[in-house]
């Protein structure tokens, strides 16, 4: 939530910062603003709404400046999304400007204290206290040491924050502080960058520096200095970003989401790459947890939010089936508040695309305090959750810019399957052949997804025909149930429609009362092979809703003729093992939601009220 950019160097800071904000807009789009230094003054411009509004304002009133610059794209927490509450915020003398991501929880008390000493507040934000505090501390340091002032301010703040500031008294300096909210440095030649995400500066440099918890960084054109809140220098971790700027471009598509759906076969292949050795065994070297660690696991708890939670629900079926280890799945925001039972024999798997979801991060910290081992499944290299976990398995989906998770979901599934199979392998469970067979099937998933993508045109037509529907229901059983939940979530967030998923077996316990003439009901049908009981039961469920007037949209394995008579629309997917079916069954749902949202005129990359990563609780 909220995107932050900082730049210091010979280029136009305004240009670099605005371009950076364009790449971070997925993090929030309630307002955007910039501050640049020049000619002994601070020049700010900010506008409610998307970045286009800020760009328009900057064209009408150009601002000049040769010094450092900062920028912000906002997802509103405190105060309405208007011009006044937009960041940056400045002190009363307009000598310092601050942008912020997070929530300053003790802002009300600080605001009263600052008002008592004469500070005039103009916004409703929590951030403005940081601007006034910084100015007060800076005055204490003879207007010279912005970093020292920042360290002093941070000690007074409670909550989660990344703060980035500039001061007219030192125009070639950007100072930032990090607690809980993401921030990464980009090292250039004679210039340096700061951002919530490397995407903001990837066009300029691929050399990045991770910032740790409670650290302050001073950025000058030729130096990057990182200290703790007491001013002690700290060692930092530098890394090379292995994707380039084109990965975060639309590449000829109208929307990132359309591109990201199409990228799925490649993303799955990249996630599987290098994990399967020639002898059929799995190698997950990067994950840091030893086979001994994994052999001692007695219980698994998966924590995640949103789409990542759905990946966790599917993982439970696979892990319990392959490894016979009890596995619980819980939304991260509920987890630590119910006093869960964890110990050294518990493996907590935290799934997070961004690695920054605050709910998941807090659950990870809680689990580690309880001595559980934590393994992260994450897409963003160097992000907070994998850094604070005992081990990590990175998905290699590449940057996902569309707010709705698509390719990262399928790669999370691939990663979950890898972990399940690896656990079975290291624990020596007696079905080596089965493991090898599943691994071989997993390796074919990219081509199956490709096939689904080649045949989804009828799904697009169907979606356009349902643009005026009020409600769509989704049904599934077994792994098809979380797939149905994911289909409903996609429709809610993109098309702003009432969409709800039910375990098909629960229908007759209440939800069937919702069925009325013409109501679209999407049903995910398990493979008729193997678990045929499950298959036959859902075929009965389809008939039950159809008998009551529902319009049935059935997603079933190609060649499954048993469902054809009861399907108003039949969407065929390739035959794959039941546990892997979510990978292929999800794709038509993504396309369905995306197309339906487009038919309604919605922006599928930046759906209303949402932000890509939720970095506040």
- Which residue, 271 or 352, has its beta carbon nearer to ligand M6R? 352
- Whole-angstrom Cα distance, residue 387 to residue 364? 11
- Which residue, 333 or 578, has its beta carbon nearer to ligand M6R? 333
- Whole-angstrom Cα distance, residue 36 to residue 487? 44
- Which residue, 269 or 332, has its beta carbon nearer to ligand M6R? 332
Q: Is 213 left (phi over 0), alpha (psi -120 to 50) or beta?
A: beta
Q: Which residue is nearest to ligand M6R (CB)?
A: 306
- Which residue, 137 or 493, has its beta carbon nearer to ligand M6R? 493
- Residue 15: half-sphere exposure toward Cβ, Cα within 13 Å: 7
- Which residue, 96 or 160, has its beta carbon nearer to ligand M6R? 160
- Whole-angstrom Cα distance, residue 373 to residue 386? 12
Q: How far is the CB of 72 from ligand M6R (least distance, A)?
A: 20
For 336, phi then psi, to 5°, come to -75, -10
- Which residue, 333 or 567, has its beta carbon nearer to ligand M6R? 333
Q: Note the residue count of the chain.
A: 617
Q: How far is the CB of 20 from ligand M6R (least distance, A)?
A: 20
By CB atoms closer than 10 A (0-12, 13-18, 19+), residue 443 is: middle
CB-CB contact of 79 with 122 (8 Å): no
Q: How far is the CB of 149 from ligand M6R (least distance, A)?
A: 33
CB-CB contact of 382 with 555 (8 Å): no
Q: How far is the CB of 483 from ligand M6R (least distance, A)?
A: 14
Active site (catalytic) residues: 2, 612
The residues, ordered by sequence, that sit 6+ positions from 264 with a Cβ below 8 Å of its Cβ are: 406, 407, 410, 446, 449, 453, 587
Nearest residue to 176 (alpha-carbon basis) of 111, 242, 224: 224
Order across the sheet with 192-195: list the strands: 41-48, 31-38, 69-74, 3-8, 192-195, 184-187, 207-210, 237-240
Beta-strand pair 237-240/207-210: antiparallel
Q: b/e map of 54-82 (b: 16 or more CB within 10 Å)?
A: bbebeeeeebebebbbbbbbbbbbebeeb
CA distances from 13 to 194, 387, 541, 596 (A): 12, 31, 60, 40
Binding interface with ligand M6R (CB under 6 A):
305-308, 352-354, 357, 360, 403-405, 493, 613-614
- Which residue, 162 or 308, has its beta carbon nearer to ligand M6R? 308
């Amino acid at each position: 939530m909220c995107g932050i950019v900082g730049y210091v160097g010979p280029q136009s800071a305004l240009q670099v910062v605005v371009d950076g904000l364009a790449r971070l807009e997925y993090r929030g789009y309630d307002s955007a603003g910039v501050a640049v230094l020049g000619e002994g003054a601070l020049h700010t411009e900010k506008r409610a709404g998307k970045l286009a509004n800020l760009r328009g304002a900057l064209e009408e009133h150009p601002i000049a400046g040769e010094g450092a610059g900062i920028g912000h794209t906002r997802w509103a927490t405190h105060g309405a999304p208007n011009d006044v509450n937009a960041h940056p915020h400045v002190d009363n003398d307009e000598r310092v400007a601050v942008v912020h991501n997070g929530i300053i929880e003790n802002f009300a008390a600080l605001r009263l204290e600052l008002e008592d000493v004469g500070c005039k507040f103009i916004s409703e934000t929590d951030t403005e206290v940081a601007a006034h505090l910084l100015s007060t501390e800076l005055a204490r340091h003879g207007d010279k040491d912005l970093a020292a002032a920042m360290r002093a301010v941070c000690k007074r703040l409670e909550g989660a924050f990344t703060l980035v500031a500039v001061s007219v008294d030192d125009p070639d300096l950007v100072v930032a502080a990090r607690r809980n909210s993401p921030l990464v440095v980009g090292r250039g030649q004679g210039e340096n960058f700061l951002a919530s995400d490397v995407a903001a500066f990837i066009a300029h440099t691929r050399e990045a520096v991770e910032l740790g918890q409670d650290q302050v960084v001073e950025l000058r054109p030729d130096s990057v200095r990182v200290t703790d809140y007491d001013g002690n220098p700290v060692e930092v971790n530098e890394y090379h970003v292995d994707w380039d700027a084109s990965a975060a471009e639309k590449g000829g598509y109208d929307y990132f989401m359309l591109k990201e759906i199409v990228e799925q076969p490649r993303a799955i292949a990249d996630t599987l790459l290098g994990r399967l050795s020639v002898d059929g065994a799995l190698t997950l070297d990067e994950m840091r947890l030893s086979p001994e660690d994994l052999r001692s696991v007695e219980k698994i708890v998966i924590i995640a939010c949103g789409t990542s939670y759905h990946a966790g629900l599917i993982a439970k079926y696979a892990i319990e089936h392959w490894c016979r280890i009890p596995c619980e799945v819980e939304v991260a925001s509920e987890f630590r508040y119910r006093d869960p039972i964890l110990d050294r024999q518990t493996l907590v798997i935290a799934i997070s695309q961004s690695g920054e979801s605050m709910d998941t991060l807090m659950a990870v910290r809680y689990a580690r305090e309880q001595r559980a081992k934590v393994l992260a499944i994450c897409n963003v290299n160097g992000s907070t959750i994998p850094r604070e976990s005992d081990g990590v398995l990175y998905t290699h989906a590449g940057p996902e810019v569309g707010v709705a998770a698509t390719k990262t979901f399928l790669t999370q599934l691939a990663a979950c399957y890898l972990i399940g199979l690896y656990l079975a392998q290291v624990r020596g469970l007696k079905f080596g052949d089965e493991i090898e067979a599943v691994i071989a099937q997993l390796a074919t998933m990219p081509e199956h997804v490709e096939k689904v993508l080649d045949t989804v045109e009828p799904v697009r037509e169907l979606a356009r025909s349902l643009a005026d529907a009020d409600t769509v229901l989704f049904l599934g059983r077994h792994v098809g149930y979380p797939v149905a939940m994911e289909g409903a979530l996609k429709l809610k967030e993109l098309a702003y429609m009432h969409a709800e998923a039910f375990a098909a077996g629960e229908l007759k316990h209440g939800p069937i009362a919702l069925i009325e003439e013409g109501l679209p009901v999407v049903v995910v049908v398990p493979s008729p092979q193997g678990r045929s009981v499950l298959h036959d039961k859902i075929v009965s469920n389809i008939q039950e809703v159809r008998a009551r007037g529902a319009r049935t949209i059935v997603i079933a394995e190609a060649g499954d003729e048993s469902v054809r008579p009861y399907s108003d629309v039949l969407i065929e997917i390739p035959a794959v093992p039941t546990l892997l079916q979510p990978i292929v069954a999800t794709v038509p749902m993504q396309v369905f939601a995306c197309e339906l949202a487009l038919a309604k005129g919605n922006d599928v990359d930046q759906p209303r009220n949402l932000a890509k990563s939720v970095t506040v609780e």
